[in-house]
Amino acid sequence: MNYLASIGSYSIMIREVFKKPTKWSIMKDLILKEIDELIYGSLGIIIFISFFIGGVVAIQTALNLTSPIIPKSLIGFTTRQSVILEFAPTFVSIIMAGKVGSYITSSIGTMRVTEQIDALEVMGVNSLNYLVFPKIIAMMLYPFAIAIAMYVGIFGGWFAGVFGGYVSSADFINGLVLDFIPYQVAYAFIKTFVFAMIIATIPAYHGFYMKGGALEVGKASTTAFVWTSVVIIILNYLLTQMLLG
């Protein structure tokens, strides 16, 4: 029953976020601040992870191509499929659930502990709209970060494959364009939009409704990361079944 109550509270929170909006002159600055914190501030770790994941996929594929009949272009093909379909949208999103999610939970949770949220509500401000809505809007730019992750991941695969001596540049590029289906990129971005909403709202829920003191802020951040990751993995399965099945 606790899980059902939590799902109900989460649904009510989402509804309240879009009621009684804050003035645009104030909201604009909040959104720009969240874009800087959540998206721009995460590009470094996204690029770093994507480059090496692409490289590892290319190397592992090359090392498993033991038959001389299999063309080397399969290395580029496998790297493209792995990075676009799963590693960029899903794996990076789980990493972001830790980085961005913990920031969201701790920042809102600290405001709850220090009674800043109570002060906002006393002033007649819709605290959920003020705190959560800018994060949701900022995370709508998350697909652009995933697009960069896709590019960097494929580049990392090319770099590792070519400079590691596993495949020629021409063979790798031939594999990249082999049987390319544009819908698969659309599928990845659809997943990314859903994951962005999850990353913005589940940590906010755990931060906003937490109880206790400073110690509970850390516990709430851990709980938020666990549940955000679980929901991302479940939705990844469901979306894959619906969109590709």
**CA-CA distance, 45 to 57, in Å (whole number)?**
18
**CA-CA distance, 119 to 111, in Å (whole number)?**
10
Question: pLDDT of 188-211, one tens digit each?
Answer: 999 999 999 999 999 999 888 888
Label residue 236 by pLDDT band (50, 70, 90).
Answer: very high
**Tokens standing for 29?**
């600055």
pLDDT, position 152:
94
The CA angle 38-39-42, to the nearest 5 degrees, is 85
Cβ count near 112 (within 10 Å) = 21
pLDDT, position 136:
92
Query: What count of residues does the chain have?
Result: 245
Please determine, for residue 109, whether its predicted confidence score (pLDDT) is greater than 80: yes
Question: pLDDT of 115-127, one tens digit each?
Answer: 888 888 888 888 8
